[in-house]
């Protein structure tokens, strides 16, 4: 998950590191000036997190300006300074989607951001579906028509990134930033390896084709047609119904007089 982290002070390193350990890559920016331009130049992002240690007044104006620019990204405010109910209400009316105050656990903050990003993309639950493939973000598992697909942790993360951005072209650089936020990143050719393995494992489990290559640019997850899903299911039923092939050992009994 990649977010824009805007704060009224530069002291966000500990928050960035904590979020990175939970799989959230935060691009920090000090101050709330012209967030719309920052998003346009440095995005795409899934969410904007505002960390406000002072009063909410300056942040409210920034939120209003962002919404007036046409930006509809989910926006979560972490109000670490003093704020009364009226100020919080004004922030929400200005365009913030949610506001939280400490103490808050980072895991809860990450879960809130994931839920907001899901809703923004039209997903109401942690289960993401494309064709006959279902990815459960709570169980960290992938299923094809009820049968679990054996994926490694990295393969799951790669598919989750695709599923959460269905219909959006993702470059290799975007995948690398998402998969290796803290660790030393290998060559970007590893993205092609992940795609090859995912396609093979999904196909072996009876999934309709959902990953499309855009040559020279990246990959995109697309929703297969109902006919394509029905066809792949029919093919799997034919394979399952076919008689076993190979040598069959027969025994012969001899009767003695």
Report which secondary-structure segment, H or E, holds 16: helix 13-21
DSSP 131-188: TTEEEETTTTEEEETTEEP---HHHHHHHHHHHTTTT--B-HHHHHHHHTSSSPP--T
Angle, helix 35-42 to helix 57-68, in steps of 10 degrees: 60
Q: Burial-class residue 196 by CB neighbours within 10 Å (0-12, 13-18, 19+).
A: exposed
How far is it, in rounded angstroms, from Cα 113 to Cα 3? 9
242: pLDDT strictly greater than 70: no
Q: Band of the pLDDT at 138, cuts 50, 70, 90?
A: confident
> Can you tell me the mean pLDDT for 206-227?
91
Query: Alpha-carbon distance 60 to 39, whole Å?
Result: 17
Q: Is the pLDDT of residue 255 over 60?
A: no
The 10s digit of each residue's pLDDT in 153-163 is 889 988 988 88
pLDDT of residue 144: 94
Domains and CATH numbers, the chain: 2-120 (3.40.50.2300), 127-241 (1.10.10.10)
């Amino acid at each position: 998950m990649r977010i824009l982290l805007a704060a009224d002070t530069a002291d966000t390193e500990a928050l960035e590191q904590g979020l990175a350990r939970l799989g959230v890559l935060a691009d920090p920016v000090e101050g709330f000036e012209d967030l719309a331009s920052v998003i346009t130049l440095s995005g795409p992002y899934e969410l904007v997190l505002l960390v406000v240690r002072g009063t909410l007044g300056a942040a409210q104006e920034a939120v209003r300006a962002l919404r007036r620019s046409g930006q509809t990204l989910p926006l979560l405010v972490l109000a670490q300074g003093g704020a009364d109910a009226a100020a919080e209400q004004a922030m929400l009316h200005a365009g913030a989607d949610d506001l939280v105050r400490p103490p808050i656990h980072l895991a809860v903050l990450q879960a809130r951001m994931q839920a907001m990003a899901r809703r923004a993309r039209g997903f109401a639950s942690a289960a993401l579906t494309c064709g006959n493939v279902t990815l459960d973000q709570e169980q960290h598992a992938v299923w094809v028509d009820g049968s679990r697909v054996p994926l490694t942790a990295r393969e799951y993360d790669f598919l989750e990134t695709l599923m959460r951005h269905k219909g959006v072209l993702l470059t290799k650089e975007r995948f690398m930033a998402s998969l290796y936020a803290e660790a030393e990143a290998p060559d970007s050719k590893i993205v092609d390896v992940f795609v090859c393995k995912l396609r093979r494992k999904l196909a072996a489990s009876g999934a309709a084709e959902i990953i499309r290559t855009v040559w020279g640019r990246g990959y995109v997850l697309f929703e297969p047609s109902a006919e394509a899903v029905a066809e792949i299911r029919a093919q799997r039923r034919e394979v399952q119904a076919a008689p076993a092939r190979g040598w069959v050992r027969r025994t012969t009994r001899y009767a003695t007089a």
